[in-house]
Amino acid sequence: MKSVNAHGIHSPFLYDLYTRAIAPSRGDHSLKAVEELRSEMLHSRARVPNIDLGAGSRKNNGSETEVRRIASVSVKPVREARLLHRIAAWLKPRCILELGTSLGISTLYLADACPHAEIHTIEGNPYIRNLAVQNFEKSGFVNILSHEGNFDEVLPVLLPKVPPPDMVFIDGNHTYEATLRYYGMFAGAPQKPVCIIFDDIYWSEGMQKAWQEIYARPEVTLSLDLFHMGIVFFNPDLTKEHYYIRY
């Protein structure tokens, strides 16, 4: 009831983002080579050890998980991967940072959208990261830099060494505290990203609370609730607005 389409949008910045990146799913294409890798993963009965890194998937319990299960429950479905691709292509960032590589499917969509950008991606489970790295090698992208370790340990070492990320995609450790902590690292940086995308904003009460607190922050000038994802922008030229968007 509260969501809008192009007719309900008044900001020229958002109108452009909506019409050129969020809305146009028709005629948009999946990445064939990446979808072939996804399909391989969806058929793989290989097992990888689970490692507790914070809020795990509620659906991946036990000491090991089959790769096909990870591919079906943890990885962005094609519709959302395509949305990420369109947003990244619209934004044209120089540097993207992804928290939560998993098998590397969303990373590959980002790398394809921005072939000239540096794509840094962090994964804490070394067994899963190895599979992602194999996928990156098979796909031939040379702009992906994969980092292994817990976000809380990798970020303080990585951030001073890389260009300030223009686009941050937070897709792991979905707890209230961790989400606010990661938000604070980027929103409090001398050079804020253009946008931060949060996945699974309605995954739990904690995530919903974190999302509501984040978009209410004074430094956030535009926030978009796309249901599966929430996006915040820091552009000081915009008047503070919050939109629910259907796409």
Ligand X SMILES: C[S@@+](CC[C@H](N)C(=O)[O-])C[C@H]1O[C@@H](n2cnc3c(N)ncnc32)[C@H](O)[C@@H]1O
- The answer to whether 110 and 104 have CB atoms below 8 angstroms apart is no
Q: In what order do the strands lie in the sheet with 118-123?
A: 3-4, 241-245, 222-225, 229-233, 195-199, 167-170, 95-99, 118-123, 144-148
Q: How far is the CB of 26 from ligand X (least distance, A)?
A: 23
Q: Which of 65, 139, 146, 173 touches ligand X by CB under 6 A?
A: 173
Question: What is the secondary structure of 101-157 as a DSSP string?
Answer: -TTSHHHHHHHHH-TTSEEEEEES-HHHHHHHHHHHHHHT-SSEEEEES-HHHHHHH
User: Which span sits near ligand X by CB under 6 A: 3-11, 157-165, 167-175, 208-216?
Assistant: 167-175
Q: How far is the CB of 119 from ligand X (least distance, A)?
A: 12
| Residue 131 in contact with ligand X, rule: CB under 6 A | no
| Residue 54 in contact with ligand X, rule: CB under 6 A | yes
* 22 DSSP assignment: I
Output phi, psi for 121, to 5 deg. Answer: -135, 140
| Residue 166 in contact with ligand X, rule: CB under 6 A | no
Q: Which of 74, 135, 146, 179 touches ligand X by CB under 6 A?
A: 74
The residue count for binding ligand X (CB under 6 A) is 20
Measured between alpha carbons, how far is 38 from 146 in angstroms, rounded to an integer? 18
Q: Which of 9, 41, 83, 105 touches ligand X by CB under 6 A?
A: 105
Q: Which of 93, 172, 193, 230 touches ligand X by CB under 6 A?
A: 172
Residue placing its CB nearer to ligand X in the complex, 9 or 197: 197
- The answer to whether 13 and 235 have CB atoms below 8 angstroms apart is yes
Contacting positions for ligand X (CB under 6 A): 53-54, 74-76, 100, 102-103, 105-106, 122-125, 128, 150-151, 171-173
